[in-house]
Amino acid sequence: MSARRPSWRTWLIGRPLTTADAEHETIGKAVGLAVFSSDNLSSTAYATEEILLILAAAGATAFAWAQPISIAIAALIVIVAVSYHQTIRAYPNAGGAYIVARENLGELPAQFAGAALLTDYVLTVAVSVSAGVAQIASAAPVVFPYRVPLAVVVVLAIMIVNLRGTRESGVVFAVPTYLFLVTIGIAVLVGLARYATGTLGTVVDPPPIAHEGPLHALTLFLLLHAFSSGTTALTGMEAIANGVTAFREPRARNAGVTLVWMVVLVGGLFVGLTFLAVHAGTIPGETETVISQLARTVFDGRGLAYLAAVGSTTLILFLAANTAFNGFPRLGALQAADGFLPRQLTYRGSRLVYSRGIIVLAVAASLLIVAFQARVTALIPLYCIGVFLSFTLSQAGMTRRWWKIGHLARGQEVVERASVLRAERGWVLKMLLNGLGAACTALVVVVFAVTKFASGAWIVVLLMPLLVLWFFAIHRHYRDLSARLSLDDYGAPPRVHRQRILVPVSSIHRGTLAALRYARSLSDDVTAVHVSHDPEGVARLRQEWERWGDGVRLVVLESPYRLLLEPLLDYVEQVAVLRQRDEVLTIVVPQFVPYRSWHNLLHAQTAVFLRMALLFRPGIVITSVPYQIRQSATEEGSV
């Protein structure tokens, strides 16, 4: 027996993995940093630019405020990180905002957290890939007109890599992540050294400033607007807490250590880049990014060091989407398991990843890129509301959890769905820390919604309640379906004593005879039904039926208007009305199956449409009898 040739799916995403291989697909801290922190790390490439872009409305002198704003954002990063570190310890089986809100705040806040995170993940892919394309366009302006198709191709490429599995995608993406850390880290250190020695200089030939129109006064509103834009540096911080189960044992400890590494790296790079961008005189513009300007200033031109910095930044921006490709499917599976998203999202693919969630994310992000023409500035206003709403709900949930722990007696345990509550010392301090974090991130949500509302944030403000309504509609469907399918108080099922069989016949061929033989095996009450709009054809059909019909009665339905399904469905309705209570009406549909799938396009597929039409008729069973067309010896030899 010849070995089966690998299919195109095996070639593209790898051989199938057994369920027993799942424990070998987990990752360590080094790979985990690449898998789950690329989004957060990459945000340092455009967070500074977003701050400067808003401050540009007050003129270049307002850029000095970027440094204190970056320090305030870094403090916020630490506050949120402390909260998520506690969350990882409390929920070692994955404790993102969705689980924390569900356990401590209730179902409605949990679904808002889910909607916020799912929206965030889609925007993460769109923003990071668009920002990566912008880096390419900065180094090679000829690419600028083709940024949208290029961005979509990158999304599809990342999707394919992730379909190959978490461990394999992590290994692929680890090298670019660490390359970014090394090259940008060197750029920051060299830039700080040159600033300390007075040799840094300023940007040569900066691009035109992005702000158009008259300058505005430097108001508190403008500073808050710049702060809200710069908080994009916090995007992706929840990814490690959402993906604890991907880490090797001890999972909680490994995930917690990885979170600390990520926060130190992000905070240091962000503050350092902002400091250098201000003192090097970078200008936020459409044609060249701040990172590109800073790199050519620090490294005195567009040499190898410049290309390494810009190239690694481009790669990390592309790979930031990988964080979402790990988080979105896992969160979708959690919500689907709770009955708030389609159950199909809970299924693992052949490579032990939630492949359907990966594909949904890629399609949604690609549509967003096309709709907004891969413009980062246009996408950013949609971005951070979901991020900080999930932060707020997560920290509010942890605050509530510490309050519940504080009211337990010594030695008492309360088992919840995702964790066990035990009395702990220091719960008051932890509750205050999480409460402070919730208040800070809630303030950012309000500031962002107000300052960015007219720029596009209204879309997310409107979208998230609509998503939550959709989630609950799905949940009601599953709950109603479960009640209707329940065997409680069902009693004894009615017995079937007789079957009446109808076999739709378009013409007489081997497939028809196969269906007829099957129908005769079910019952002696078999009727073949033919819809006619050609009298001469009916005469020939009757002659053939006399030979091949094996005594089964044939009913011919006239169709003067050349309709096919409608006369047949009317006849089925007439027979169904006369059906007895203990009688089942079964429609046996013959269907031939070509040996090449594309051959189906050459046929009317009447059997498929007939089954679709009859599927919704109550009290009727539809059975399809496929007849496979064999490949001839001549055709086999020519392949």
Q: What does the alpha-carbon distance between residue 392 and residue 197 come to, in Å, rounded to a whole number?
A: 43
- 495 vs 240 pLDDT, higher one: 240
554 has pLDDT over 90: yes
* Strand extents, DSSP E, 447-541: 498-504, 526-532
Q: What does the alpha-carbon distance between residue 263 and residue 73 come to, in Å, rounded to a whole number?
A: 12
Domains of the chain, residue spans: 30-478, 498-638
Q: Which range is least confidently modeled, 179-188, 471-480, 602-611?
A: 602-611
Amino acid type, 182: V
Q: pLDDT digits over 109-165, tens only?
A: 999 999 998 998 898 899 888 888 887 887 788 888 888 999 999 999 888 888 876
Burial of 243 (0-12, 13-18, 19+ CB in 10 A): buried
177 has pLDDT over 90: no
> Using 50, 70 and 90 to split pLDDT, how confident is the model at 22?
very low
Length of the chain in residues, anyone?
639
Q: pLDDT digits over 225-253, tens only?
A: 888 888 888 887 887 887 787 788 888 88
Q: What is the mean pLDDT of residues 452-456?
A: 78
20 has pLDDT over 50: no
* Residue 234 near residue 73 (C-beta atoms within 8 A): yes
273 has pLDDT over 90: yes
Q: What does the alpha-carbon distance between residue 273 and residue 289 come to, in Å, rounded to a whole number?
A: 13
Task: Give me the pLDDT at residue 555, please.
Answer: 93
Give percent above pLDDT 70 in the chain: 89
| CA proximity to 95, closest of 398, 428, 326 | 398
398 has pLDDT over 50: yes
Task: Give me the pLDDT at residue 583, please.
Answer: 84
> Residue 83: which region, alpha, beta or left (left: phi > 0; alpha: psi -120 to 50)?
alpha
363 has pLDDT over 90: yes
388 has pLDDT over 70: yes
> Using 50, 70 and 90 to split pLDDT, how confident is the model at 474?
very high
Task: Give me the pLDDT at residue 634, please.
Answer: 45
Q: Which two tokens stand for residue 512?
A: 């028809």
Mean pLDDT of the chain: 83
Q: Which range is least confidently modeled, 410-414, 451-455, 527-531, 605-609?
A: 605-609
Task: Give me the pLDDT at residue 536, please.
Answer: 78
Q: What is the mean pLDDT of residues 590-597?
A: 79
3-state secondary structure of 413: strand
14 has pLDDT over 60: no
In sequence order, the 6+-apart residues with CB closer than 8 A to the CB of 267 are 74, 77, 78
Task: Give me the pLDDT at residue 39, please.
Answer: 79
> Using 50, 70 and 90 to split pLDDT, how confident is the model at 324?
confident
- 459 vs 71 pLDDT, higher one: 71
Burial of 583 (0-12, 13-18, 19+ CB in 10 A): middle
Strand partners, 413: 422
* Residue 438 near residue 395 (C-beta atoms within 8 A): yes
In sequence order, the 6+-apart residues with CB closer than 8 A to the CB of 189 are none
Around Cβ 125, how many Cβ atoms within 10 Å? 30
Q: What is the mean pLDDT of residues 207-216?
A: 66
Q: What is the mean pLDDT of residues 398-409?
A: 91
Q: What is the mean pLDDT of residues 186-211?
A: 87
Q: What does the alpha-carbon distance between residue 400 and residue 381 come to, in Å, rounded to a whole number?
A: 30
305: Cα within 13 Å, side-chain hemisphere: 16
In sequence order, the 6+-apart residues with CB closer than 8 A to the CB of 381 are 452, 455, 456, 457
630 has pLDDT over 80: no
| CATH of the structural domain 498-638, one choice from 3.40.640.10, 3.40.50.620, 3.90.1150.220, 3.20.20.30 | 3.40.50.620
Task: Give me the pLDDT at residue 258, please.
Answer: 92
Q: Which range is least confidently modeled, 112-116, 350-354, 456-460?
A: 350-354
463 has pLDDT over 50: yes
- 466 vs 177 pLDDT, higher one: 466
Q: In what order do the strands lie in the sheet with 498-504?
A: 553-558, 526-532, 498-504, 583-593, 620-628
Q: What does the alpha-carbon distance between residue 179 and residue 310 come to, in Å, rounded to a whole number?
A: 11
> Using 50, 70 and 90 to split pLDDT, how confident is the model at 437?
confident
Strand partners, 415: 420
Amino acid type, 581: R
Looking only at the bridges linking them, the beta strands covering 413-415 and 420-422 are antiparallel
Task: Give me the pLDDT at residue 352, please.
Answer: 60
Amino acid type, 506: S
> Using 50, 70 and 90 to split pLDDT, how confident is the model at 629?
confident
Task: Give me the pLDDT at residue 2, please.
Answer: 43
Task: Give me the pLDDT at residue 401, please.
Answer: 93
Task: Give me the pLDDT at residue 19, please.
Answer: 47
Buried b (16+ CB within 10 A) or exposed e, 354-391: bbbbbebbbebbbebbeebebebbebbbbbbbbbbbbb
Around Cβ 433, how many Cβ atoms within 10 Å? 18
621, containing H or E segment: strand 620-628
Strand partners, 589: 624
Q: What is the mean pLDDT of residues 20-31?
A: 66
Task: Give me the pLDDT at residue 639, please.
Answer: 42
Q: What does the alpha-carbon distance between residue 226 and residue 51 come to, in Å, rounded to a whole number?
A: 5
Q: What is the mean pLDDT of residues 522-526?
A: 91
* Strand extents, DSSP E, 520-582: 526-532, 553-558
- 583 vs 189 pLDDT, higher one: 189
In sequence order, the 6+-apart residues with CB closer than 8 A to the CB of 610 are 504, 565, 568, 587, 589
Q: How far is CA 108 from CA 70, 593, 601, 611, in A?
A: 34, 48, 46, 40
Q: What is the mean pLDDT of residues 295-302?
A: 90
Q: What is the mean pLDDT of residues 390-413?
A: 90
SS percent in the chain: helix, strand, coil, step 5: 70, 10, 25
59: Cα within 13 Å, side-chain hemisphere: 7
1 has pLDDT over 50: no
| CA proximity to 204, closest of 293, 315, 328 | 293
Looking only at the bridges linking them, the beta strands covering 498-504 and 620-628 are unpaired
> Using 50, 70 and 90 to split pLDDT, how confident is the model at 633?
very low
Cα dihedral sign, 192-197-202-203: negative
Give percent above pLDDT 90 in the chain: 28
- 190 vs 354 pLDDT, higher one: 190
| CA proximity to 122, closest of 170, 149, 159 | 159
* Strand extents, DSSP E, 456-560: 498-504, 526-532, 553-558
Q: What is the mean pLDDT of residues 176-189?
A: 92
- 556 vs 385 pLDDT, higher one: 556
The DSSP secondary-structure symbol of 603 reads S
93 has pLDDT over 70: yes
| CATH of the structural domain 30-478, one choice from 1.20.1740.10, 3.40.605.10, 3.40.50.300, 3.40.190.290 | 1.20.1740.10
Q: What is the mean pLDDT of residues 465-479?
A: 94
Task: Give me the pLDDT at residue 97, please.
Answer: 86
Buried b (16+ CB within 10 A) or exposed e, 14-36: eeebeeeeeeebbbebebbbbbb
> Using 50, 70 and 90 to split pLDDT, how confident is the model at 210?
low
538 has pLDDT over 60: yes
Estimate the crossing angle of helix 97-104 against helix 107-139, to 10 degrees: 170
